[in-house]
Structures are given as structure tokens and as C-alpha cells.
Structure 1
Amino acid sequence: MTRRALVFEPDGLSRQERRRHRREQHRNDRAQVAPPAARRERGLPEAAAPGPFGPGLTDGGYWNLAPVHVPPHQATSQHIAGIYPFVADAGLGHRGPIVGVDLNADALWHFSPWETYADSTDRGSFSTNVLVLGAYRAGKSAVIKTLVTRSMAFGHQAVVPSDPKGEWVAVAEAIPGGNVIRLGGAYDTRLNPLDRGPRRTGVTNEQHEQMVKQRRITVLTSLVGAALPGSHLTAVEHAALLEALERCIRTTDDHPTLRGVYTELTGLTREADRDRHLAQGAIQPSFVLRRFVNGDLSDLFEDESTVQFDDAAPIVVVDTSELFARGDLVAQLSQICTTAWNQAVISDRAAHRTRYVIREEGWRDMTSLASLQMYQQWLKLSRHYGISNIVILHKMGDLDAVGEADSQERNLAYSIAGDIENKFIFRINQQEGASIHQRLAIPPAHVAMARQLRKGEFLAYVGQFSYLVDAFATSTPWEYDLFKTDDAMELDSRYDDEFRTLDDPVLESLWPGDSRYGDTPAGPSAGDASVDGWLTQKELQ
């Protein structure tokens, strides 16, 4: 009896191709059993080397006279795409600074809001603004500091209009040329929110005067409106403010201050015989500005500025941490003043500068309808001015502090947050799931994932795509020391499982040798293999 081996033939062969395939198969079978001398004499290929179990024995331990030829797997491209690693995403490319590691693609993740805005493909974004949302101690501030600091190697600058915790001060002081402006406490520093500001390049005299006038009116109405929660400026009160501002401009030779406006408002209240309605409209605004002149906001914004905005500095931080001792409303009003003061400088489009504007506890800029409208306008004009607004919130519930339930202010605040296209979602609390699903249109599966994120991990939504990024996987010990915001965190805890800084194959490939990214605590040295755009301590020095 002849023993025949099982032969596999590819599907779709013609009769002639099948005969040729069988002859080739028979020739190979003979090569396996023929002696070596006979194989060489007949020109047959060499026999396969014996397996680990001896000549003729397969891994299963049984005899097989003919090799088994398993055809390659055949499937459609739709099905084959589900096999790893073909499921890995291409990411945003290599433009911009390194932010972290894309955990789905196992590759470095780069991000620059200006690069994504310039990208005309479906990977691009229609906005340069970023919404950052996450619970306490989720790593939000440290990741944003990482992004901003590394972006300086690409020529971008940064402005923090109000630093309520003082956590950006150390970053500004560590960067050569960084500028820190301290308000409150023992610091004898004043900012005049009614400053003219620098003249924009390429505008006419008439356009410049109109811009200055509109900015002054906006900051005045925002201040008064923020100090009157639950109420709105009437038309008469608005007219009284404008009249007082115009009088102050005339009497001070175009150097108005809040003290001067307060003086003119007080004078208007005494002119009831000339214009009774205007005199009554000046009462409420005068009481608000009185707080800046003689009340809990004095010695901050009522007189001429004692400092200047250094537009050439890589980072400018306004430290308002001392103001929190005076109450939340003081901090909110201060944030309006500092934001308006900064915007007068950074809104020069012709200067061709690109800046991050970091809004820590961004809900504090949304205290009234006037400030909300100014906030919304500034976000819309960010692309025009080359600005990337980074709005940081602990939870969507932070916006519940804006106005009453179902009020125009609260709805506008939620609309502003939802309209920011680029979103970084860090670990969220259990009760936040429904809110971000409803308000930000985050898919339920992503909401469940956001509840389980570790420190430094976040879901990044850029354009039409989403990414799971671990930012701490590419951080150095020097960055941990500089960017940490929890004073109770011990230095040694940087290398625990939560931070995932040990035995990282990605970083080991970047900096061979020490698994903690260099032989020194300061990170990689000048001789180490570095990545394009990486901003190390060596480069900062």
C-alpha cells in the first residue's frame, strides 16, 4: 500500500497550475527521504535539518514522512486590520514638542496647537485652544507645564495672566529670561488695566484709538458686572461708566486709572440737578470701584502701572496667590484686570509671535455676562492673534459657579467650554461621567476609560481623532521636581509604579544605559542621544 502525504493546494489555481504545484510538492517530498549523495547527484535541494526530537520526529512526537506545508492566512483587508499591530494609529506625526507616549501606537506623541491648525488633512484641528479637564492630582498642571516648557524650543512663548496657586512662578524663574509679576501681600506692584498698551503694527491712528477705547470700556464693564452677582448693568449705569471714563481721559491727558474713573463717578452722583438719571446710574458703579480705591482691592489696580509686560520674555507669570487671602471675588476681579492688561500686549498680530495663554481655574474668568462675552470673543480671536488659550478645569461642575441654574451666563459658560475643539481629559471622578458625556460629547466607552486613568495619562481629542497619552513616560526627574504641585509628594515617589519611569523600553531606546533617563538626576546630558525638539535642563541653561 502506498502512503500518500496530505497536500495543501492554494485556492483558485487552474488545472495546469495544480499539476505544476503537485510535481513540485512530489519533488520536495523525495528530497526529504533521499540520501544526501543521491540528492546532490539529482540536483535536489538539501533535506531539512532534523527537529529537536530526532530525525523525522515533529514537535508533537509522531513520525511524519512528508513536511506539512501550511498556506499563509488569507483574509480581506477589513478583517486583517483587526490584527495587532495594524490597529496602531499613525498619530499626529513628528511636528511639535514631545508630550508623551501614545499608549495605543506605542510611539512618541507630539503636539502643537499651531501645527494641528495648519494641518489641512483630517488630522488637523480648526482651533488652537485647548480645554484641560481632570480631577485633583490627575497630573493636569504638570502635563501642561511640560508642553509649554518644551514648546519654547520651537519659539513659542507663554503667558499666565493669573497664577492663583503660585505654581508657575518656579517654572518662570527656572527659564532664562522668564518674567514674574507679583501682586498682593508685601509686593508694592500695581497694574493699570486701563493702560493704552502698545500700538499694533500696521494700523491707522483711527483704528488704534478705537481699539484702545473698546478695550477700556470692556474691562470697566466686566469689573463692575463681576462685582454685582445676580444683576446686570442697566443702560443708565453703562452710560454713566462711559461718561466717567471719557471725563477721566480728558482730565488726565489720556492716562485714565480706576481711581480717576471713581472720582468722576462720584462727581456724577452730585449732579442730580443736571441729569438725574445719569446721577442715579453712577451710584452702583462708584461703589464697586470704591473697593479698588479704598477697599479690599486697594494698592493693586487703582493707579498707574509700576511694572511693564516684557513681550520678549519666553514666559510671563502674574503671581496672584497672595490675593486669595482676600476672598474669591477679589481673585476673580484681579483675574479680569490682569487678563485685560496682558491682552493689550499680546494681541499684536503683526508681531508674528505665538503664545500660550494658560488660564488656571478658567471658570474665574466667567463671573458675569460681560466677562463671559469678553472671554468668548478672546477665544474666537485666538487664531487671528496666534494665541493658544489653555483653559484648565477640575470638573464641568466648576461652571455651576457661573450664574444661576439655566441662566444665560451658565449656558454661555458651558457653550464656551464645549466649543473648544482640542480637549485633554485626565482622570475624572465617578460623578463626572454623565456631565462630560452630555456637555462635551465624549463617548461612553471613553468616559469609562477616563475614570481609570493613572496620573499623567489623558485622552487627547484633536480634530476628528482621539489618543491615549502617557505624558509622564517621557519626563525627566528634573521636570518632576520643577513641575510638581503637591508639596507633600516625596521625591522618591517619582519612580513608583504610578509614574511608570522604570524599565521603560521606549526611553531605554532614546537614552541607552540608565533606566531613569540618564546617569544624573538632572536628566540626559549633552552627550546622550536626544530627540528633536526636546527641551532639557542643559538646553535651558
Structure 2
Amino acid sequence: MRQALERRRAAKAAQHLPHADLADVLAPSAVPEAPVREKGRRERPEPIPSRRGVAKPFSGRAPRIPNLPAFRSSTGQVQGLYPWLYGKSLPPVGAYMGVDCLTGGAFSCHPVEWLHRGLTSNPNLLITGVPGSGKSATIKGLALRLLTYGVKTFVLGDIKNEYAKVARALGVEPVELGPGLPTRLNPLDSGPLGQHLPTDPIELRDRLAEIHRRRITLLSSLLEVRLDRKLDPTEEAALAYAIKDISGEHDGNSQLVDPTIPDVWAVLRDPHPVMVEELRADSVKELRERIRPAADALGNMVQGSLSGLFDGPTTVRLDFNAPIQTVNLERMKGRGDETVAMTLACASNWGQTAIDDPNGPVRLVIRDELWRAMRIPAMVRKLDADLRLSRSNGTIEVLSTHRLSDFEAVGAAGSEEVAIAKGLISSCDVRICLAQDTAPLAMTRDAIGLTDTECQHIASWTGQHKGRGIWKIGRSSSHVVQMMLTPIEQELTWTNERMSL
């Protein structure tokens, strides 16, 4: 009976809160002291459970570990079950560029090594992004870091004078070209191809044919811009004859002379009797009248847009052992898009010829402000040829543009030039897409092959994500990379000097 009463009192007390002062509840007067450990007594560590679990009731101990079944499937199916997993990073070869934002690992770049390992089919790069997204910083960082791997850099036309600081930091003085300067570049130079001509007749014929092809392609491109039409067969034949006549190829000379644009103009302006007979004209007067438009257009370039730039022999000697070479064309910015495009075409032809050494090192050829160069339709075809021959020429072609819609502005819709320009994207197996505007992002998605998730990444980047981009390596590998610059590189890649207060 007594035990029953005690149990009843305990049950009734459990239904009410304990009696305590409200002040002690809200603000305890003293902090409870920690329990004092007895001297000489050591606490027993918690036992480490075995693979089968803790040996006590209700602890999930398994007397036998079952063999789990293994299932195999393709990544196209498994990615639906595990959409939060990303592929492994690229092999750590080449120059460190930054951090892979999805895996947290280091991201390294070496287009030639990627080519050798079968990750890409060509070493060319295409980088696109709005102004201020970090295009030039990414390119300069890549050029500086690939120097340790023996890759030298050549900038074919620096319109904004962005690479002069980098060149001077490496101990190289840029080649400055512009009105009022004594520097001259001859875009018809034969370069290393014209030196030490082979003695084998077949090899000699092929070498001379390649040199002639480059010269005739450049002059035809310039004349087509001036005439706003293609050259007729007589004009092309006269141009080819003038080049061979000046170089001495007609006479079978063992050492050829590099013609200049004024030399070619002089032959077209006053054709001689042998040229008349070669072109099957009735008289000198008749031939002069038939080629007068081409001769006048070439004369206007010599005395006008190209005057003081490409109207004489080359006056500079390139140091091919230097880590970088750049042609500064900042003085040409105010001469109009057509003149700038022709200047870039001449500088590109001269530069590509100058570095065309079969025994030379791998070079990073940077083509900045690509939309300006593609104003000349023939320049688009030449650029396409350079990209296709990059592996045999030992070059890593880098194309930089603000948006991919620039490739559609090279000509009329559906024209051959537009089709070739769009094909330039597929000739670059490494494509870097930095921050983009919303409107051109749809074209970028179709041209590069971006997924919905990658488009969302790009659309979310702001000015504080400078240098962050999607790196598409080959046709299957994609990485979100944040470019990391050292303090010295940040100073060399800073392009907002004019905006400083």
C-alpha cells in the first residue's frame, strides 16, 4: 500500500514543472561547475567499432557482411542517377592556369601536349568574351607561362598596344609601325623559305611555288578590297608575271630578290614588251589599258593607305631567339576599318612568313581584334589556311574576339566568306568562353556546343568573375576555370590605365 502511494505521488509530480525562481531561470546566478575528475583515474576511450558495427544490442551490428551487386551502364544513363558528379580533371601537364571551379583541383594547359595525348585534334585556341571579361589577361598569362616550356609568342598586329608592356618586361622592344616612323615591313618577304633554296629540282619547284602563292594571295586580297570585285584573269596573270619578273625567277637565279609593293606597281603601270608577249596582248598600250584598274588601285595603296608602312624593304631584324615578338599598330587606329584591315593583312603575312622555319620552335601566334582582320574576305580564307596548317607549321593559333557573331559580319548572308568564317570555330579544338551578353549567348551555345548548365554558369558571371570561363577541350571535356594571376602578371595585364583617376 505504501509503495502504491509513493508511485502515485511521483507520477503526479512528473506532471508539473519544478518550483524555481523566475530570475534564476532567466539569468542563472552561477554557472554549474564542471565535474571534477578523480585523481589517478583515466577515462576509457570510446571503442572503435569494427567493420560489422558495435557489439551491443540495437547498435546495427551485422553478423555477416553481404556482397553488394555491381551494375554497369553508360555515362549517358548514369548521369541521370548521379547528376551532381563531375568528370575527373585533365592530366596535370603544361602551364598552371587556375582552379577548376567544379572539382577544386588545379587546371593546367598545354595545347601541344593535349594534341599528343589525343585529347584534341589541333592545338588552336578560340577565346571569346565581352570587354572586361579577362580575354587579354588569359592570353597573356598563357603566353608567359608557356615560355618555360619553350613556346615563344608572336603577336601579329597589336592595335591597342596591350602587349608592349609584356614584351619590355621580357627584354624585347616591340616593332612599332605607323605614319611618321622609319620602320618598314615588306609583306612580300620570302622569309626563311627563301633562304638556302634546295638543289633538288622537285623540292626547289615546290618551295618557289609556295613563296609565289603567298605573295599572289596577299596582293590579290588587297586589290579585291580596293576594287570591290575579284580580279579578272588578265589582271591575275599580270600580277603573277610582275612578281616573278622582279624576284628573278624567270631568269633562273639561284638567289631570289624579294619584291616590294612599289616594284610590282611599277611593272603594272609600265608593262614591257616581253610581258606583253607573255600575256598574249596585241600591244603595250592595250595591255596597259586592260590592267589599269589594278595598277591604279595598287598605286593608291602605295601612295595612300600603305604609305610609310609597307612601301619598302623590311628595316627591322627579328630576334628569333627572343621569347616574344609583337608588331605595334596603335598609330593605325584612326585610319578607318578598311585601312586597319589591310594593315593587319600585311603584318600577318609578313609575320607568318618570318616565323615559317621548319626547324624553329613552337610559337604561340596571337591574333587579337579578329573582327578587324576579317573585314577582308580574302583574309578569312588565309586565316582558314593558317589554322589548317598549324600542326605542320608548328604554331598554336590563338583567335580572340568579343562575340561569335563577328564571324557572320564578314560578308553577305549565305556567302562563301561567312561559311568559311563559321568553319574557323571548328578549326579550334580548344574553345574558351568567358562572360557573354544574353543575346549572343544563344549563338555561342550552338557554335561551341554549350549545355544548359554551362549557359547558366556563363550568364551568372559578373564583373567580379573576371577571368572565369568555360574551357571546352576537344569534343567531350568541359571545365569551369578561374584564371589565377600573380601580382606581377596582374600589373602586366592591366588594361585600364586610361580609366585611372
Which residue is 1:219 aligned to? 218
Moved more, 83-92 or 335-344: 83-92
For structure 1, which segment, 77-86 or 268-277, has the greater mean C-alpha deviation from structure 2 after superposition?
77-86
User: How far does residue 277 in structure 1 lie from its aligned partner after superposition?
Assistant: 6.6
Could you say if the C-alpha distance between residues 441 and 67 of structure 1 is closer, same or farther in structure 2, counting changes exceeding 3 Å? closer
Q: Show the counterpart of 1:102.
A: 100
3-state secondary structure, aligned to 2:160? coil
Partner deviation per Cα, 1:419-455 (whole Å, 9 max, x = no partner)? 3221001111110122112333333332232222321
Q: Is 1:292 aligned to 2:287, yes or no?
A: no
User: Which amino acid in 1 is paired with 2:416?
Assistant: Q
The Cα of 1:119 is off from its aligned counterpart by 0.4
- 1:207 paired residue number: 206
- 8 Å CA contact 1:99–1:147 kept in 2: the answer is yes
Q: Deviations for 1:164-183, whole angstroms, at most 9, x for unmatched residues?
A: 1000111111113x341000
CA contact (8 A) 1:292 1:300 kept: no
Instruction: Call closer, same or farther: CA 1:49–1:115 in 2, change over 3 Å.
Output: closer
| Structure 2 contact 181–308 (Cα < 8 Å) conserved | no
Residue 67 (structure 1) aligned to one of 40, 59, 62: 59
Question: How far has the Cα of 1:203 moved from its partner?
Answer: 4.7
Pick one of 123, 142, 145 that aligns with 2:140: 145
- Aligned-partner Cα distance in 1 for 2:136–2:491: 13
Q: Does 2:371 align with 1:363?
A: yes
Q: Deviations over 1:139-184 (max 9, x none)?
A: 01101100111100111101001011000111111113x3410000
- 1:74-89 superposed matches below 5 A: 87-89=85-87
Which position in structure 2 is the counterpart of 1:524? none
The alignment status of 1:462 with 2:473, answered yes or no, reads: yes
Structural RMSD (CA): 3.3
8 Å Cα contact 1:163-1:360 kept in structure 2 = yes
Q: Distance in 2 between matches of 1:162 and 1:72?
A: 68
Alignment of 1:378-389 (within 5 A): 378-389=386-397
Are residues 1:170 and 2:165 paired? yes
**Unaligned stretches of 5+ residues in structure 1:** 1-45, 51-63, 492-541
In structure 2, distance between residues paired with 1:321 and 1:99:
29
Counterpart Cα distance in 2 of 1:235 and 1:288? 17
Q: Is the CA contact 2:157–2:326 (under 8 Å) kept in the aligned structure 1?
A: yes
Contact kept? 2:186, 2:260, Cα under 8 Å:
yes
Counterpart code for 2:163 = W
Distance (Å, rounded) in 1 between the aligned partners of 2:290 and 2:121: 43
- 1:356 and 1:390 in contact (8 A); partners too: yes
Structure 1 residue runs of 4 or more that deviate by more than 6 Å after TM superposition:
70-75, 77-86, 269-272
Counterpart CA distance in 2 for 1:136 and 1:174 is: 24
Find out whether 1:159 has 2:162 as its counterpart.
no
Residue 184 in structure 1 maps to residue 175 in structure 2 = no
The residue type equivalent to 1:156 in the other structure is V
2:317 paired with 1:308: yes
SS where residue 349 of structure 1 aligns? coil
Tell me the TM-score normalized by structure 1.
0.72
- Listed as ranges, the matches of 1:503-522 within 5 Å are none
Instruction: Check 1:67–1:344 CA distance in 2 against 1; reply closer, same or farther (3 A cut).
Output: same
Matches within 5 A, 1:418-433: 418-433=426-441
1:397 is aligned to 405
CA separation of 1:103/1:278 partners in 2, compared to 1, >3 Å: closer, same or farther? farther
- Taking structure 2 as the reference length, what is the TM-score of the superposition? 0.77
8 Å contact from structure 1 (residues 269, 280) kept in 2: no
Supply the distance in 1 between the matched residues of 2:185 and 2:460 (Cα, whole angstroms). 43
Q: 1:243 to 1:393 in 2, by over 3 A?
A: same
Secondary structure of 2:270's aligned partner: helix
Higher RCO (C-alpha under 8 Å, 6+ residues apart): 2
Counterparts of 1:131 and 1:139, CA distance in 2: 14
Shift of 1:269: 11
How much does 1:278 deviate?
4.2
212-221 vs 268-277, which deviates more?
268-277
Structure 1 residues 69 and 132, CA, compared in 2 at 3 Å: closer, same or farther? Answer: same
Judging changes above 3 Å, is the alpha-carbon distance between structure 1 residues 132 and 228 closer, same or farther for their aligned structure 2 residues?
Answer: farther
Work out which of the residue numbers 380, 383, 390 in structure 2 matches 1:375: 383
Change (3 A) 1:320 1:77: farther
SS in 2 for 1:356: strand
Q: 2:227 touches 2:294 (CA, 8 Å); kept in 1?
A: no
d(CA) in 1 for partners of 2:69 and 2:128? 42
Deviations 1:476-524 (A, max 9, x none): 1211111122225669xxxxxxxxxxxxxxxxxxxxxxxxxxxxxxxxx
In structure 1, C-alpha distance between the alignment counterparts of 2:176 and 2:382, rounded to whole Å: 24
Runs of at least 5 residues in structure 2 that lack an aligned partner in the other structure: 1-42, 48-55
Distance 1:431 1:147 in 2: 29
Structure 2 vs 1, CA of residues 299 and 48 (structure 1 numbering), >3 Å: closer, same or farther? closer
**Matches of 1:275 and 1:321, distance apart in 2:** 43
Task: Find the partner of 1:484 among 494, 497, 500.
Answer: 494
Amino acid at match of 2:486: T
Partner residue, 1:282 = 291
1:215-254 equivalent positions in 2, closer than 5 A: 215-229=214-228, 231-250=229-248, 254=257
Residue matched to 2:89: 91
Report if aligned partners of 1:162, 1:360 keep a CA contact under 8 Å in 2.
yes
Q: Distance in 2 between matches of 1:275 and 1:444?
A: 66
Q: Secondary structure at the match of 2:497?
A: coil
Distance 1:47 1:201 in 2: 87
The question of whether the paired residues in 2 share the 8 Å contact of 1:126 and 1:463 is answered with yes
Q: Give the conservation status (yes or no) of the 8 Å contact 1:227–1:329.
A: no
Q: In 1, Cα distance between the equivalents of 2:348 and 2:66?
A: 64
**Following TM superposition, by how much is the alpha carbon of 1:397 offset from its aligned partner in structure 2, in angstroms?**
1.7
1:263 aligns with 2:266: yes
- Go from structure 1 to structure 2 and tell me whether the alpha carbon gap of 1:434 and 1:266 turns closer, same or farther (over 3 Å shift): same
